[in-house]
Amino acid sequence: MKTKITELFGIKYPFIGGTMMYVTDAKFVSAISEAGGIGILPSAWYKSKESFRDAIKEIKDLTDKPFGVNINLFPMMQPIDNNEYIDVIIEEGVKMVETSGHRAPDDIAARVKPEGIKLTHKCVGVRYARKVESVGVDAVTVVGFENGGATGTLDITTFCLVPAVANAVKIPVIGGGGVSNGEAIFALLALGAEGVIMGTRLLLTEECPIHDNVKKTLLEAKETDTVLVLRPYGNTHRCLITDVTEKVQELEKESAPFEKVYPLIEGAKNEKLVKEADFSGGFLSCGQGIGQIDRILPVKELFDQLAEQVSDAGKRTNEIIGG
C-alpha cells in the first residue's frame, strides 16, 4: 500500500496506532511499528523526563522502524511541561510527533519542525484542520464521532468528517473513528484520506498489554455497548458501558460538580481497570467499531489481513464499476 502517509513516515502500511493512555507502552508501540504501521507513545503517561527517555530507548532497542510520540495539549489535572518532553524527543532522534488537544500546536511546531521532525495534529473539525495546516503541520488526523476516547463536541461522523477535511486542506489527512476492518479502511481512502488511525481494533491484539478479562469483555461487546460521558465538563469521551459510566451519567443528570465525578474515573483507576480488569472504577475508552471485531490476532497478522481486505474491497468496487 502506497499513500502520501506511507511516504511521509517511511512505513509499509498507512496504519497509525491510536495513542491509548495506560495501554500504548513501549513494547506495544514497537509491535505496531514492526508490523508495518507506526506506533505512537503517549508522553503524558510518564511523570519524568527520565522515565520518558527510558521508554523511548526501549522502543529503539526493540525496533528500527519509525515510531512517534504524542504530546497532549488537553487540560490535565496534573499539568506537565511539554517542553521537557520535546527536549528528550529531539535528543533521542524521534522522527514523528503527534499533538492532540483543544488548541493548535504553534509552539510545538516552532520547536520540532527545524529539527526535521514530522508533525501531525489530531482534531475533530474542518476549521481546526485549516488552522493547524496554517501553522505548518505535515498531516492532520481527524476522527469521527464513532471513535473511542475523546470525541469533541461537534458530533460529526467519520463518513462526513473525512471528506469535508480532505476537501478543505492540502496536507495529507489521516482518518479514523469506527475503523475495525479493511472495508472501512478502503472507504476512508476512497473519501480522501491518505491513512487511517485505529485504537479500538488494536485493543484486541495479542501484544496489547491489557488484561485478558478486559479483552474477553471487549470481544463480547456490540456497537450499542458504548456511551458518551463527561460532556457537561467539556471533555466528552466515548467509553464501554459499565456500572461506573452509569454512575457518571447519574451525576451528570444531577448537574454534579466535576469534583464528585473525578474520584470515579481518576487515572489510577483507569490504569487498574486495563491492567487488572477491575471494573469497579475508571472507564475504558472504546469506539463503536468494537461490534465488528471477533478475533484476537497478532498485530502483524492483523495488518496483513487488513491490507488484503482493502485489496479485495478494491477489486469488488472495480467489478461493480466495470459492470
* Backbone angles phi and psi of 4, in degrees to 5: -65, -25
Of 210, 239, 272, the position where a domain reaches its end is 210
pLDDT of residue 79: 65
Q: Which amino acid is at 321?
A: I
Instruction: Tell whether 127 and 36 lie within a shared domain.
Output: yes
Instruction: Tell whether 193 and 241 lie within a shared domain.
Output: no
Instruction: Tell whether 157 and 102 lie within a shared domain.
Output: yes
Of 164, 186, 210, the position where a domain reaches its end is 210
pLDDT of residue 77: 54
Instruction: Tell whether 167 and 280 lie within a shared domain.
Output: no
pLDDT of residue 124: 87
pLDDT of residue 43: 94
Of 175, 193, 210, the position where a domain reaches its end is 210
Instruction: Answer whether 290's CB lies under 8 Å from 226's CB.
Output: yes
Please check whether residue 126 lies inside any domain of the structure.
yes
Instruction: Tell whether 198 and 229 lie within a shared domain.
Output: no
pLDDT of residue 322: 80
pLDDT of residue 91: 97
Instruction: Tell whether 79 and 202 lie within a shared domain.
Output: yes
**Hey, what's the cell of 150?**
475523546
For residue 145, give the nearest of 175, 118, 116 by alpha carbon.
175
- Terminal CA-CA length for the chain: 25
Structurally, the chain folds into a number of domains equal to 2
Instruction: Answer whether 216's CB lies under 8 Å from 31's CB.
Output: no
Q: How far is CA 274 from the centre of its chain?
A: 16
Residue 270 has, within 13 A of its CA and on its CB side, a CA count of 18
107 CB contacts (<8 Å, ≥6 apart)? none
What are the Cα distances from residue 18, in Å, to 24, 128, 141? 8, 19, 10
Helix (H), strand (E), coil (C) string for the chain: CCCHHHHHHCCCCCEEECCCCCCCCHHHHHHHHHCCCECEEEHHHCCCHHHHHHHHHHHHHHCCCCCEEEEECCCCCCCCCHHHHHHHHHHCCCCEEEEECCCCCHHHHHHHHHHCCEEEEEECCHHHHHHHHHCCCCEEEEECCCCCEECCCCCCCHHHHHHHHHHHCCCCEEEECCCCCHHHHHHHHHCCCCEEEECHHHHCECCCCCCHHHHHHHHHCCCCCEEEECHHHCCCEEEECCHHHHHHHHHHHCCCCHHHHHHHHCHHHHHHHHHHCCCCCCCCECCHHHHHCCCCECHHHHHHHHHHHHHHHHHHHHHHHHC
Residue 195 has a CB neighbour count (10 Å cut-off) of 29
Instruction: Answer whether 175's CB lies under 8 Å from 191's CB.
Output: yes
Please check whether residue 145 lies inside any domain of the structure.
yes
Instruction: Answer whether 13's CB lies under 8 Å from 1's CB.
Output: yes
Domain that holds residue 255: 212-288
pLDDT of residue 196: 98
Q: How would you write the pLDDT of the chain (323 residues) with one tens digit per residue?
A: 899 999 999 999 999 999 998 999 999 999 999 999 999 999 999 989 999 999 999 999 999 999 999 999 875 556 678 999 999 999 999 999 999 987 889 999 999 999 999 999 998 889 999 999 999 999 999 999 999 998 888 899 999 999 999 999 999 999 999 999 999 999 999 999 999 999 999 999 999 999 999 999 999 999 999 999 999 998 899 999 999 999 999 999 999 999 999 999 998 999 999 999 999 999 999 999 999 999 999 999 999 999 999 999 999 999 998 86
Instruction: Tell whether 167 and 228 lie within a shared domain.
Output: no
Q: How far is CA 228 from the centre of its chain?
A: 17
Instruction: Tell whether 206 and 221 lie within a shared domain.
Output: no
Instruction: Tell whether 175 and 129 lie within a shared domain.
Output: yes
